[in-house]
Structure formats: structure tokens, C-alpha cells
Amino acid sequence: MSLKYLDQSGFSLMLSVVSTWFKRGSGQQFRIPTRWGSQGRLNLIGTYTLHGTHPHLAVRALEGSCTQTQVIAYLDTLAEQCEPSRLTVIVLDNATFHRGKAIQEKQLAWEAQGLYLRYLPPYAPFLNLIEGVWKQLKGFLMPRRAYNSLAELETALKLALNAFGAEFI
């Protein structure tokens, strides 16, 4: 049996640490502008496989936020790679885009291909092993700094993923 832990993660540009003063009770919310806005974020969806002698990380870059459609496309890719005679279990958290009606409707087709979905208990992200991978990726493999452009962030992310031996699917 092959267990794959699925998750989505975002990588944002870091801002410098600053402090400021504004009048309390003024009714205005203080906003710190970002350099890149929503264009300063990269999102990944990935699976962490515990099968064989070495763990395996597979990732896909997403355009925009993670949606149910993108999760289905990713799971379709994984199902195509499955051997029906070998059980493959995808462990998901309880994000809304992991549990929607469209995903439920596809489950029987995926199971026919040898891909089964199982869900973690609510409020238990610590049970999702890929969370540790994201933590290592963000906390140790990528330099902790503000990136001057989205291209710099993408380069740093690709280097870190390559160090992890990630497969891009």
C-alpha cells in the first residue's frame, strides 16, 4: 500500500519588520502595503509518499488560490499513475476544496484506478506528514529574506524543492 499525504501550501514574499504609530480609536485601519499584492504569492499542491526506502515529494505549482478544480486535476494525474492492483491511499485534511461534491462524485472512478481518499480527523493538521515537509521547506531550505521579485522567489523555491528531490507533476 502506498500512502500519500496531500496538501496545499502558499509561499509569500516576506516583508521587513516595521513598527508604526497611529491614533487609537480613529476608526481607520492601518494597512501596510505589500510590494506585489496577490501577485507576490506562489501556491503549491503536493503529495508526500511513504513507500519504498525513500519518501517522495511530488508538487505542482498552482495559478491563484487552491480550488476544488485544481485538486481534482491533481488527483486525476495521480490516479493515471496508479496501478489498479496496488492500493494507493491519499490522506487529505478537511479543507473545503478537499471535500466538495465534485470530489465525492469522482471517488468511485479514482477507486477503480486504485486511488482511495481518506480524511484526517478535524483540527488535526499535525497528523498530516506533508506539513513537516512544508515546514522544512519554508524554514530551512529557503533563505529567510524578502525577495525583490516574484522571479527571485520562484528561483529560491525551485532550488529548495530540488534539494528535497521533489518531482514536478
12 by DSSP, 3-state: which? Answer: strand
Query: What tens digit of pLDDT does each residue of 41-67 get?
Result: 788 889 988 777 788 899 998 877 888
C-alpha triplet 157, 158, 163: angle, nearest 5° = 100
- pLDDT score of 144: 67
Q: Among 130, 105, 147, which Cα is nearest to 16's?
A: 147
Which one is predicted more confidently, 50 or 1? Answer: 50
Q: Among 119, 135, 115, 138, which Cα is nearest to 127's?
A: 119
Which one is predicted more confidently, 142 or 16? Answer: 142
Domains contained in the chain, CATH given: 2-11+38-168 (3.30.420.10)
- pLDDT score of 163: 86
Query: What tens digit of pLDDT does each residue of 67-101 get?
Result: 899 999 999 999 999 887 788 898 888 888 888 89
> Which helix (H) or strand (E) covers residue 50, if one does?
strand 41-50
Percent of the chain's residues with pLDDT above 90: 23
Q: What's the 3-state SS for the chain?
A: CEEEEEEEEEEECCCCCCCCCCCCCCCCCCCCCCCCHHHHEEEEEEEEEECCCCCEEEEEEECCCCCHHHHHHHHHHHHHHCCCCCCEEEEECCCHHHHCHHHHHHHHHHHHCCEEEEECCCCCHHHCCHHHHHHHHHHHHCCCCCCCCHHHHHHHHHHHHHHCCCEEC
Single-letter residue type at 142: M
Which one is predicted more confidently, 168 or 95? Answer: 168
